[in-house]
């Protein structure tokens, strides 16, 4: 095992500056999966469970969603919510029981509601999930097969939790997987950058959102 005194952030930017892997790259058609941009995780002014890495994150997510709709490509939003009994949280709901505990994000609650800043439009797909990956026990896989996509672009949070789980599941299902770095967030920069590094080295292409937007614009121009 290599040891170092460098921070996770320093290691991440070193990796990004010195490519060690051939990129998966973009395919022919993509889906945008926006993981849990709900108040429990975005409203730092309301909830201890919320976090922010880039203050423009949700604006970038909205820009991506507009680009996808322009192409007629699927836009997916997920959020977490549980029954009042929390029995659908399973063992995940057994570690703590405070107002901030995961299983206390109830259906219909303010914590479960999408942040008012995200632009969810008619035709977008909304799934409720109960575990980290957006693929786990949701109809997402069937949606991607129907739309014949080969590329998955993931935004949201947290980088070390649901983004990582979704990215690993996406790669495991054979999809080219892209993570725009300004579009994901976590509670602590150490978790955030360590998991971006791991995703980039193993499971996904971590990219600047500007490059993803440029690809969407180029595809729209080709289609015009």
In 143-196, beta strands by DSSP E: 151-157, 176-180, 184-185
Question: Which regions of the chain does DSSP assign to beta strands (E)?
Answer: 30-35, 75-80, 125-129, 151-157, 176-180, 184-185, 205-207
Peptide bond preceding 154: is omega within 30 degrees of 0, i.e. cis?
Answer: no
The catalytic position among 40, 64, 75, 162 is: 162
183 in active site: no
DSSP letter, residue 133: S
With beta carbons less than 8 A apart as the criterion, state whether 219 and 73 touch. Answer: no
Cα 68 → chain centroid:
16
* Residues labelled as active-site residues: 162
């Amino acid at each position: 095992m290599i040891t170092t005194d460098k921070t996770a952030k320093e290691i991440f930017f070193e990796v990004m500056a010195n490519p060690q892997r051939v990129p998966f790259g973009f395919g022919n058609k993509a889906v945008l999966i926006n993981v849990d941009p709900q108040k429990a995780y975005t409203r730092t002014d309301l909830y201890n469970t919320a976090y922010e890495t880039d203050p423009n994150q949700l604006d970038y997510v909205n820009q991506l969603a507009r680009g996808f709709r322009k192409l007629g490509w699927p836009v997916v939003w997920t959020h977490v919510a549980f029954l009042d009994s929390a029995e659908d949280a399973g063992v995940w709901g057994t570690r703590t029981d405070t107002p901030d505990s995961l299983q206390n994000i109830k259906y219909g609650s303010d914590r479960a509601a999408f942040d008012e800043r995200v632009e969810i439009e008619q035709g977008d797909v909304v799934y409720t999930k109960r575990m980290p990956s957006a693929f786990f026990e949701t109809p997402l896989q069937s949606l991607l097969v129907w739309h014949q996509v080969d590329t998955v672009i993931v935004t949201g949070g947290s980088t070390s939790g649901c983004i990582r789980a979704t990215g690993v599941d996406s790669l495991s299902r054979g999809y080219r997987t892209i993570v725009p770095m300004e579009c994901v967030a976590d509670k602590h920069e150490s978790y955030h950058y360590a998991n971006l590094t791991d995703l980039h080295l193993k499971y996904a292409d971590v990219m600047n959102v500007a490059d993803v937007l440029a690809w969407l614009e180029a595809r729209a121009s080709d289609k015009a």
